[in-house]
């Protein structure tokens, strides 16, 4: 027999090995095998295919050994890997690498998955209980402890108890325990324990849906009779999550699994608690902060006879082995963090979810208050079903959104801080009534930039072509791309004037001003600087939830799906920055961010207020935001997208070139573009120098392909791959980094 094996290498597709006769019975598709590759190295690979005909014209090595006694990936997963590799133009080996937790694919045989163990206590099997008093002698404490142990064990189903738990609950010192061990009354053993969280208390039945929710729920169920994908477009706080819970419940009745995808860890804490309250230990959690051994355990549990019925997870949970997948929910489907950026495979989790569901015979529900242009387009033209939820739960009105013209206010000298007088007034009123406030700023750092007042010079990173951000904490400048820190300068190196100053305001600056303005209230800040650990994120959220803090200042992290019931005022400080970002999606993103941020206010008790500070309130986008007019905004955007050949009318592929030598990256990209233009003609744009044209000493060039959606992906892929091999044929371009970003966001 012969086996095609996927190796964790960024090379071509699969490699063929011979199966030694004695392994014939022990190997199958989806099994891990160890094979040698190259001169000396051994790798763990996955068997993709087995067949009998010897491959012609190549000499094949034998499989070294078989690791598993059952497949650890199923055929659906292999099909999904293949689709990702095909559609996102990347090596299958890279998909394999991303898909399997690393402890399940040891590249040398050392770093294997390790079982977690715990020290337990049990009664020594040879110990005759009736002689206890004579054995222990005069030590009263030992005797008491012995009695407690037998008492505890008699109430347990297992015959052991964790040493730590025993000492913690009984309060005896380790010395007393040691006495018993030395006398062979009890013994210490090491037992395997699971890393997966378990202590789940009672669960409740899902809340009854209100009539709007019930209508939307029925619409979704009906839609799934004809279509594979449905969009739930529900305004913020309309109760989408409760609808998901009912759908999951329905899946449980049908004995099918649900995958509930969330954009990133920020969302999972509150949501996980809500889902756990209903589904208890049927729910598995797979987020980016769990460690690799935990990943491996979840994977193994999914393979077992008792798999999780529901997984809530970030994009990589798409790769888990499901047996009976019935539904994939993609919550906040418009989120850009669903797209993997670095490294390959650069897949979009929403689109990959739809493919996974298709392969598994399951359905996909996309949910959002602000759907992406692509999804809404598909829902409008009937490719997807569409269910609407236009009322907030308990019919609280959507927030009252007001614009503040900061340009005018500045001109009239009325802006005494980063907060407009009107915003300060609203905050004052809300806080005095015991309500809370969220202030939202789309940038981190104290003040984003240092600039010379005299000549306009700004400090940049030595390795990357980006301006440095000032961080008050530590009084340093930091590159957000490579994390290099620099000293702050006052003297301008360009004009030699002492006129370098801070401009703009980040979250740290706002926090400081707010603390000064409202000395009686507590301010907390949430951005990537304050939330490096999962704990700190949870703490900031729970402090705010428990009203220990009153004002929360943060970046876009704050706009995502959080459900607080006491926030009545949301301030969006300087909305203009995001609008002017040079990207065709900047208006779509701004609309989403502002609508979502606004949606954090007035969720439960009364109508909320949102104040958006802008120096350009005439921009049409604000009218749509103030009127909560998604449809109007969508139609205007769609016209522009069509005019300028962007998604959803065209598919974009970005081709990225990187090299330390600028001349080389320049000529490689020109050559590549010229080859492509031969067949793809005016669909090829560039090469261009991107906005950030140097990162970590690598110079960057990009080509953009704008492709009609009906152009065959296969054909395009072939053209691109031919161009790449022609480039690689030139010795000088052999090692230029080239990669493809399909459907970038
Ligand atoms: P969304 O996901 O649309 O933003 P949520 O599902 O978070 O909205 O709902 C908003 C709030 O209303 C939550 O606190 C939720 O618990 C509550 N809620 C929604 N639907 C119901 C229901 N049917 N019964 C009771 N509470 C509900
Ligand atoms: Zn840098
Ligand atoms: Zn200067």
Measured distance CA(256)–CA(211) in Å, rounded: 26
Measured distance CA(88)–CA(386) in Å, rounded: 27
Per-residue confidence band for 376, with pLDDT thresholds at 50, 70 and 90: very high
Evaluate if residue 110 carries a pLDDT over 50: no
Q: Which of 85-99, 171-185, 383-397, 576-590 has the lowest mean pLDDT?
A: 576-590
Domains of the chain (ranges plus CATH)?
A: 2-104 (3.40.1440.60), 117-192 (1.10.10), 211-393 (3.40.50.300), 396-446+505-640 (3.40.50.300), 650-742 (3.30.70.600)
Of these ranges, 178-182, 425-429, 554-558, the one predicted with the greatest mean pLDDT is 425-429
What mean pLDDT is predicted for residues 158-182? 87
Evaluate if residue 538 carries a pLDDT over 90: no
pLDDT in tens, 66-77: 999 999 999 999
Query: Measuring CA to CA, which residue among 660, 688, 686 is closest to residue 674?
Result: 686
Could you give the strand order of the β-sheet that contains 476-478, starting from the edge strand earlier in sequence?
Answer: 469-471, 476-478, 485-487
Q: Specify whether the CB–CB gap between 233 and 371 falls below 8 A.
A: yes
Q: What is the mean pLDDT of the chain?
A: 89
Ligand 1 close to Cβ of residue 602 (< 6 A): no
pLDDT in tens, 716-725: 999 999 999 9
Q: Closest residue (by CA) to atom 20 of ligand 1?
A: 239
What mean pLDDT is predicted for residues 115-142? 82
Neighbouring residues of 354: CB distance < 8 A, sequence distance ≥ 6: 228, 229, 328, 364
Q: Which residues in 378-410 are b (16+ Cβ under 10 Å) and which e?
A: bbbeeebbbbbbebbbeebebbebebbbbeebe
Pocket test for ligand 1, best of 212, 231, 242, 244 (most atoms within 8 A of CB): 242
Per-residue confidence band for 600, with pLDDT thresholds at 50, 70 and 90: confident
Measured distance CA(309)–CA(203) in Å, rounded: 15
Coil, helix or strand for 178?
Answer: helix
Evaluate if residue 201 carries a pLDDT over 70: no
Closest ligand 1 atom to the C-alpha of 210? 23
Measured distance CA(282)–CA(711) in Å, rounded: 43
Between the CA of 492 and the centroid of ligand 2 the distance, in Å, is 20
Between the CA of 39 and the centroid of ligand 3 the distance, in Å, is 57
Evaluate if residue 115 carries a pLDDT over 80: no
Ligand 1 close to Cβ of residue 511 (< 6 A): no
pLDDT at 109: 46
Q: Specify whether the CB–CB gap between 605 and 714 falls below 8 A.
A: no
Neighbouring residues of 609: CB distance < 8 A, sequence distance ≥ 6: 399, 400, 402, 426, 430, 568, 569, 570, 601, 602
Ligand 1 close to Cβ of residue 238 (< 6 A): yes
Tokens of 665: 């990256």
Per-residue confidence band for 530, with pLDDT thresholds at 50, 70 and 90: low
What mean pLDDT is predicted for residues 102-127? 73
Ligand 1 close to Cβ of residue 262 (< 6 A): no
pLDDT at 111: 46
Between the CA of 464 and the centroid of ligand 3 the distance, in Å, is 21
Ligand 1 close to Cβ of residue 596 (< 6 A): no
Pairing, β 684-688 against β 694-695: unpaired
Ligand 1 close to Cβ of residue 144 (< 6 A): no
Query: Measuring CA to CA, which residue among 558, 621, 559 is closest to residue 585?
Result: 621
Evaluate if residue 300 carries a pLDDT over 90: yes
Ligand 1 close to Cβ of residue 471 (< 6 A): no
What mean pLDDT is predicted for residues 593-610? 82
Evaluate if residue 13 carries a pLDDT over 90: no
Q: Specify whether the CB–CB gap between 569 and 428 falls below 8 A.
A: no
Q: Specify whether the CB–CB gap between 43 and 61 falls below 8 A.
A: no
Of these ranges, 156-160, 419-423, 510-514, the one predicted with the greatest mean pLDDT is 419-423
Closest ligand 1 atom to the C-alpha of 241? 6
Ligand 1 close to Cβ of residue 370 (< 6 A): no
Percentage helix, strand, coil for the chain under 3-state DSSP, each rounded to 5: 40, 25, 40
Q: Closest residue (by CA) to atom 17 of ligand 1?
A: 239
For 463, other C-beta atoms within 10 Å of its C-beta total 15
Between the CA of 395 and the centroid of ligand 1 the distance, in Å, is 11
pLDDT in tens, 441-495: 876 445 567 877 777 788 888 887 777 888 877 888 888 777 889 998 889 888 8
What mean pLDDT is predicted for residues 403-416? 89
Evaluate if residue 611 carries a pLDDT over 80: yes
What DSSP state is assigned to residue 669? H
Neighbouring residues of 604: CB distance < 8 A, sequence distance ≥ 6: 237, 394, 396, 565, 566
Between the CA of 618 and the centroid of ligand 2 the distance, in Å, is 36
Measured distance CA(156)–CA(122) in Å, rounded: 12
Evaluate if residue 264 carries a pLDDT over 60: yes
Closest ligand 1 atom to the C-alpha of 599? 4
Pocket test for ligand 1, best of 205, 210, 214, 237 (most atoms within 8 A of CB): 237
Per-residue confidence band for 114, with pLDDT thresholds at 50, 70 and 90: low
Output the DSSP codes for 73-113: S-HHHHHHHHHHHHHTT--HHHHHHHHS-GGGS-SSTTS--
What mean pLDDT is predicted for residues 252-263? 96
> Quick one: angle between helices 662-680 and 713-729, nearest 10?
140
Q: Which ligand is nearest to the CA of 497?
A: 3
Ligand 1 close to Cβ of residue 228 (< 6 A): no
Ligand 1 close to Cβ of residue 270 (< 6 A): no
Measured distance CA(537)–CA(552) in Å, rounded: 12
Q: Which ligand is nearest to the CA of 451?
A: 3
Q: Specify whether the CB–CB gap between 311 and 256 falls below 8 A.
A: no
pLDDT in tens, 539-553: 888 899 899 999 999
Percent of the chain with pLDDT over 90: 55
What mean pLDDT is predicted for residues 24-41? 90
Pocket test for ligand 1, best of 393, 399, 592, 599 (most atoms within 8 A of CB): 393
Indicate yes or no: pTM above 0.85: no
Measured distance CA(516)–CA(155) in Å, rounded: 58
What mean pLDDT is predicted for residues 88-98? 94
């Amino acid at each position: 027999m012969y086996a095609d094996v996927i190796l964790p290498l960024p090379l071509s597709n699969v490699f063929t090995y011979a199966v030694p006769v004695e392994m014939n019975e022990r190997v199958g598709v989806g099994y891990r095998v160890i094979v040698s590759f190259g001169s000396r190295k051994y790798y763990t690979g996955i068997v993709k295919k087995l067949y009998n005909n010897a491959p012609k014209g190549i000499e094949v090595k034998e499989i070294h050994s078989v690791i598993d006694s059952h497949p650890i990936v199923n055929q659906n997963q292999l099909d999904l890997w293949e689709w990702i590799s095909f559609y996102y133009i990347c090596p299958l080996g890279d998909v394999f690498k991303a898909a399997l937790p690393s402890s399940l694919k040891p590249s040398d045989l050392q770093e294997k998955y390790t079982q977690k163990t715990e020290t337990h206590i049990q009664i020594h099997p040879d110990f005759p209980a009736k002689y206890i008093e004579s054995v222990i002698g005069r030590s009263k404490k030992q005797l008491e402890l012995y009695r407690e142990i037998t008492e505890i064990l008699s109430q347990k189903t297992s015959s052991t108890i964790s040493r730590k738990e025993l000492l913690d609950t009984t309060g005896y010192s380790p010395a007393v325990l040691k006495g018993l061990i030395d006398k062979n009354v009890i013994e210490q053993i090491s037992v395997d324990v699971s890393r997966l969280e378990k202590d789940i208390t009672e669960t409740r039945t899902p809340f009854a849906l209100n009539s709007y929710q019930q209508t939307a729920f029925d619409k979704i169920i009906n839609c799934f009779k004809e279509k594979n994908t449905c969009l739930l477009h529900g305004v913020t706080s309309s109760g989408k999550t409760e609808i998901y819970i009912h759908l999951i419940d329905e899946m449980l009745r049908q004995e099918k699994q649900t995958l509930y995808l969330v954009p990133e860890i920020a969302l999972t804490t509150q949501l996980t608690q809500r889902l756990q309250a209903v589904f208890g230990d049927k729910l598995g959690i797979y987020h980016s902060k769990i460690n690799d051994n935990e990943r491996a355990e979840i994977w193994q549990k999914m393979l077992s006879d008792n798999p999780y019925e529901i997984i809530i997870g970030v994009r990589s949970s798409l790769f888990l082995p499901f047996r009976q997948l019935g539904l994939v929910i993609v919550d906040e489907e418009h989120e850009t963090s669903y797209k993997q950026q670095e490294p390959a495979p650069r897949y979009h989790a929403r689109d990959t979810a739809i493919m996974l569901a298709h392969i598994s015979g399951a359905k996909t529900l996309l949910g959002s208050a602000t759907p992406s242009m692509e999804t809404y387009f598909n829902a409008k033209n009937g490719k997807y079903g569409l269910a609407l939820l236009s009322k907030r739960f308990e019919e609280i009105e959507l927030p009252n959104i007001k614009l503040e013209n900061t340009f005018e206010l500045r001109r009239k000298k009325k802006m005494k801080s980063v907060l407009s007088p009107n915003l300060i007034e609203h905050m004052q009123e809300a806080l005095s009534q015991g309500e809370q406030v969220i202030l939202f700023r789309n940038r981190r750092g104290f003040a984003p930039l240092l600039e010379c007042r005299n000549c306009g010079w700004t400090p940049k990173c030595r390795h990357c072509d980006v301006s440095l951000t000032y961080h008050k904490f530590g009084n340093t400048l930091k590159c957000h791309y490579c994390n290099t820190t620099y000293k702050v300068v006052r003297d301008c190196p360009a004009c030699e004037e002492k006129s370098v100053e801070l401009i703009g305001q980040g979250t740290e600056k706002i926090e400081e001003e707010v603390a000064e303005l409202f000395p009686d209230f507590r301010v907390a800040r949430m951005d990537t600087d304050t939330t490096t650990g999962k704990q700190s994120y949870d703490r900031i959220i729970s402090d705010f939830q428990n009203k220990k803090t009153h004002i929360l200042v943060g970046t876009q992290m704050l706009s995502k799906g959080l459900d607080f019931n006491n926030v009545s005022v949301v301030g969006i400080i300087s909305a203009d920055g995001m609008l002017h970002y040079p990207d065709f999606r900047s208006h779509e993103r701004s609309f989403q961010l502002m609508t979502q941020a606004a949606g954090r206010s007035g969720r439960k008790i009364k109508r909320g207020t949102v104040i958006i500070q802008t120096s350009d309130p005439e921009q049409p986008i604000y009218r749509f935001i103030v009127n909560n007019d998604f449809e109007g905004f969508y139609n205007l955007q769609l016209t522009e997208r069509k005019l300028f050949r962007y998604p959803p009318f065209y598919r974009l592929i970005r081709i990225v070139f990187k090299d330390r030598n600028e001349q080389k990256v320049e000529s490689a990209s020109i050559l590549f573009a010229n080859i492509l233009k031969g067949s793809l003609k005016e669909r090829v744009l560039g090469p261009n120098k991107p906005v950030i044209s140097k990162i970590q000493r690598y110079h960057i060039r990009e080509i953009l392909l704008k492709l009609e959606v009906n152009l065959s992906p296969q054909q395009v892929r072939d053209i691109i791959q031919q161009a790449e091999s022609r480039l690689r044929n030139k010795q000088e371009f052999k090692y230029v980094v080239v990669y493809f970003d399909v459907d970038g966001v």
